[in-house]
Amino acid sequence: MGNLGGYQLMTRLAKKVGGPAALAVVTAVSGWAIGRAAEAGGKAAKAAARKRNAPCSTKGRVFDVVSDGEDSRGLALRAGDQYRVMECDGEAILIEVLGDTNNPYFTSAQFLESVSSFPTAEKPNAE
């Protein structure tokens, strides 16, 4: 009886689903659904990785500050200041405030948009 375990399991499953033909259909549909789910997950992960590793389109550009503001980490920018984008990774931006001795600073794209003409996803071509 030791080598009949797999056969017995298939027989029990076939009886539960209505016979061997129904078991074949259930197996095929389940395999297809699992394969599609894995494919969708893989595509989503690939898209997220591509977005995360996208080059920083504002890297090296200098922006003028047009209104005073201070972010949650204490970075204060005043109208007339200028900053250069050194690197960006999604919402996190590394900037160099020109003429400041305490460079560099990490801040958010949202803060930079509020005090300057820093482009966001909604307005990618602003300058």
Q: How many domains does the chain have?
A: 2
Using pLDDT thresholds of 50, 70 and 90, give the confidence band for residue 4: confident
Query: Does some domain include residue 124?
Result: no
CATH of the domain at 67: 2.30.30
Q: 33 and 74 share a domain?
A: no
Q: What is the dihedral of CA 62, 68, 71, 77, to 10 degrees?
A: 40
- In this prediction, residues 21-47 reach a mean pLDDT of 92
Query: Does some domain include residue 80?
Result: yes
Pairing of strands 82-89, 92-97: antiparallel
Domain region containing 69: 62-115
Q: 91 and 110 share a domain?
A: yes
Residue 27: half-sphere exposure toward Cβ, Cα within 13 Å: 10
pTM for this predicted structure = 0.53
Q: φ, ψ for residue 76 (rounded to 5)?
A: -110, 125
Query: Does some domain include residue 123?
Result: no
Query: Does some domain include residue 100?
Result: yes
CA distance 70 to 49: 31
Residues 88-98 pLDDT 10s: 877 888 999 99
Pairing of strands 62-64, 76-77: unpaired
